[in-house]
Amino acid sequence: MKIVVLGTGYVGLVTGVCLAELGHHVVAVDVDVEKVAVLNSGKSPIYEPGLDALLDKNVSVGRFVATSDLEIAVIGADISIIAVGTPTREGHIDLSSIRDVSTQLASVLHQCSDFHVVCVKSTVLPGTTENVVGTILAHASTRQLGIDLGLCMNPEFLAEGTAVQDFMNPDRIVIGATDQKTFDLVSDMYSILGRVDFVNTSPVTAEISKYAANSFLATTISFSNEIANLCSVVGDVDVVDVMAAVRLDRRLTPLLPEGRIWPGLMSFLHPGVGFGGSCFPKDIRALVAFGSDIKSPMPILQAVLETNDNQWLLTVKMLTEELGELRGKKIGVLGLAFKPGTSDIRMSPSINILRELWASGANLIAHDPVAISNMKLELDGLPIEYSETFNDFIFDCDAIVLVTAWPEYKELENLICDRNIVVVDGRRFLDKDCFARYRGIGI
């Protein structure tokens, strides 16, 4: 098939490159001409394990090409996938890129006659696919839905850091199509992936499924953090022990004769400094605002956000309790990415932590294996020292704060040992018994 992907952010790029790897001819469209040039040289502008190699391979064999010319890309294509950003502005989802790209698509589709499917992959609020994208396409092109135009919403369930692997081994593919012909074409696009659970549904069900999936995971995190915060006030209790007991419920971790099954969800029942990234904070905020607009309040999700918005502050509180006045104290911040396995720092708790520590007058040094350059851009002007390694500077610090659980930070257990350095573990990742001065969320 010839497939056009509109937008080359995380979702668009991973989708486009993986579809090319499956054997399709993919044209990726982006307004950023510099990015287009980088992509056509076979290099990925983002850090995502496995993506560079696949991009390079598929550019070399001619199955993946990037362009800024939407018209040339779309003529003769079977499917156009909309993967542009849907940021939050003033608490509400901003659909301007979705509208722009739909308008451009409509004017090109006006000129050609073969059946063409427009597939929305960006996360959009209920009703957007049909009422915004569908309406624009129907008004501005001469096409008729179900006749020579197909419309569907096909959410992505990729997690950063494992996005390529997630795409190639999907747990489900949700296709919210307006008609059977569209469902058949879009499911064909994925057919080479082999056995996978397809959900053949309506666009609005697909739209809400995406929000519901992310809201559920984020709720689990804030739930764990709320219990953690309770434990830290009760005293003489560690939330890690509490959660270990909760997880042993056979309805969470089924007990089979051959042993227990440990679903991936169990990693979300774990305390920490809260969730970040480009998805959970944005999606949940957008859904809460949508619920309020349609007079269907979402108090649980509001509380999920509130707990999360305050969670990072606990690291600063623990540092202050241990060190007193932070002015002039040297503090090492370990981990800048919003989670391990990515260089993405969007909505990372480390941003708030660094800003707050700086405002308190602390001297800051920070480490991350891959996200330093992104944080330098984000906190341009703040006097933070960045280091490519951490096992040298930690000994000069009064305290270390672990914000992202990169595996290499396990080394701290041997390095710091019984030294008089405060260790604040924002992810409950380290063995508390290995340190003389350990503080963790939920103890």
Work out the angle between the directed axes of helices 51-60 and 33-40 (0-180°, nearest 10): 80
**Contact between 270 and ligand UGA per CB under 6 A:** yes
Q: Which burial class, exposed, middle or buried, applies to 137 when counting CB atoms under 10 A from its CB (0-12, 13-18, 19+)?
A: buried
Q: Rounded to 5 degrees, what are φ and ψ at 153?
A: -115, 125
**Contact between 253 and ligand UGA per CB under 6 A:** no
**Contact between 130 and ligand UGA per CB under 6 A:** no
Token readout for 318 is: 């623990």
**Residue 279 bears catalytic tag:** yes
- CA atoms of 93 and 11, how far apart (whole Å): 17
Within 294-353, the residues that bind ligand UGA by CB under 6 A are 338-339
- CA atoms of 200 and 186, how far apart (whole Å): 10
- What is the closest distance, in whole angstroms, from the C-beta atom of residue 255 to ligand UGA in the complex? 22
**Contact between 50 and ligand UGA per CB under 6 A:** no
Catalytic residue among 279, 397, 417, 434: 279
Complex with ligand UGA: residue 109 or 125, whichever CB lies closer: 125
Within 188-227, the residues that bind ligand UGA by CB under 6 A are 214, 217, 221
CA distances from 264 to 260, 360, 426 (A): 13, 38, 20
**Contact between 252 and ligand UGA per CB under 6 A:** no
**Contact between 122 and ligand UGA per CB under 6 A:** no
Q: Which stretch binds ligand UGA (CB under 6 A): 98-106, 134-142, 273-281, 413-421?
A: 273-281
- What is the closest distance, in whole angstroms, from the C-beta atom of residue 72 to ligand UGA in the complex? 29
- CA atoms of 147 and 139, how far apart (whole Å): 15
Complex with ligand UGA: residue 59 or 279, whichever CB lies closer: 279
Binding-site string for ligand UGA from residue 138 to residue 157, where x marks contact by CB under 6 A and - marks none: ------------------xx
3-state helix, strand, coil in the chain (%, to 5): 45, 15, 40
**Contact between 21 and ligand UGA per CB under 6 A:** no
- CA atoms of 236 and 99, how far apart (whole Å): 55
Q: Rounded to 5 degrees, what are φ and ψ at 67?
A: -155, 165
- CA atoms of 278 and 379, how far apart (whole Å): 18
Complex with ligand UGA: residue 79 or 163, whichever CB lies closer: 163
**Contact between 159 and ligand UGA per CB under 6 A:** yes
Complex with ligand UGA: residue 141 or 308, whichever CB lies closer: 308
- What is the closest distance, in whole angstroms, from the C-beta atom of residue 319 to ligand UGA in the complex? 20
Complex with ligand UGA: residue 143 or 210, whichever CB lies closer: 210
User: Which of 167, 268, 406, 429 is in the footprint of ligand UGA by CB under 6 A?
Assistant: 268
- What is the closest distance, in whole angstroms, from the C-beta atom of residue 282 to ligand UGA in the complex? 9
Query: Is the separation of the CB atoms in 274 and 305 below 8 Å?
Result: no
**Contact between 425 and ligand UGA per CB under 6 A:** no
Q: Which helix (H) or strand (E) element contains residue 365?
A: strand 363-367
Kindly state the number of chain residues that form the binding site for ligand UGA, as judged by CB under 6 A.
20
Residue 47: other Cβ atoms inside 10 A: 18
User: Which of 276, 332, 335, 440 is in the footprint of ligand UGA by CB under 6 A?
Assistant: 276
Query: Is the separation of the CB atoms in 155 and 209 below 8 Å?
Result: yes
- CA atoms of 250 and 246, how far apart (whole Å): 10
Complex with ligand UGA: residue 180 or 267, whichever CB lies closer: 267
**Contact between 82 and ligand UGA per CB under 6 A:** no
Complex with ligand UGA: residue 307 or 363, whichever CB lies closer: 307
- CA atoms of 235 and 127, how far apart (whole Å): 48
Query: Is the separation of the CB atoms in 272 and 310 below 8 Å?
Result: no
Strand 88-89, strand 79-82: pairing: unpaired
Q: What is the DSSP letter of 270?
A: S
Token readout for 375 is: 């944080």
Token readout for 164 is: 């390529």
**Contact between 12 and ligand UGA per CB under 6 A:** no
Complex with ligand UGA: residue 150 or 341, whichever CB lies closer: 341
**Contact between 287 and ligand UGA per CB under 6 A:** no
First to last CA, the chain: 55
**Contact between 280 and ligand UGA per CB under 6 A:** yes
Q: Which residues of the chain form contacts with ligand UGA (CB under 6 A)?
A: 156-160, 214, 217, 221, 267-268, 270, 272, 274-277, 279-280, 338-339
Question: What residues act catalytically?
Answer: 279
